[in-house]
Amino acid sequence: MGPKATNRRWVIFSLACGTSFMLYLHRFTWNVVGAILTDKEQMGDDVFTEETVAWVGGMFNITYSIGQVPGG
């Protein structure tokens, strides 16, 4: 095992940590973003209905759950 293998491991580890952080951030910021998307003061005429935001959140949760089966 030379230095190339060690460097490759660190790259894979860094990518895995970055992906994990982005998923964590996305899961926990959706409530804030969903509230902003339904607020007419902040969004003006481009406001989403609460039902649309709920559907998007539900679809994310379903696909996230499906991804947990092979990914652990």
pLDDT in tens, 12-50: 999 999 998 988 888 888 888 888 888 888 888 888 888
For residue 26, what pLDDT is reported?
A: 80
Count the alpha carbons within 13 Å of 21 in the hemisphere toward its beta carbon.
6
Other C-beta atoms closer than 10 Å to the C-beta of 72 total 5
pTM of the model: 0.59
Whether 10 contacts 40, CB under 8 Å: no
For residue 62, what pLDDT is reported?
A: 92
Q: What is the Cα–Cα distance from 69 to 60, expressed in whole angstroms?
A: 15
What are the backbone dihedrals phi and psi of residue 31, each rounded to the nearest 5 degrees, phi first?
-65, -40
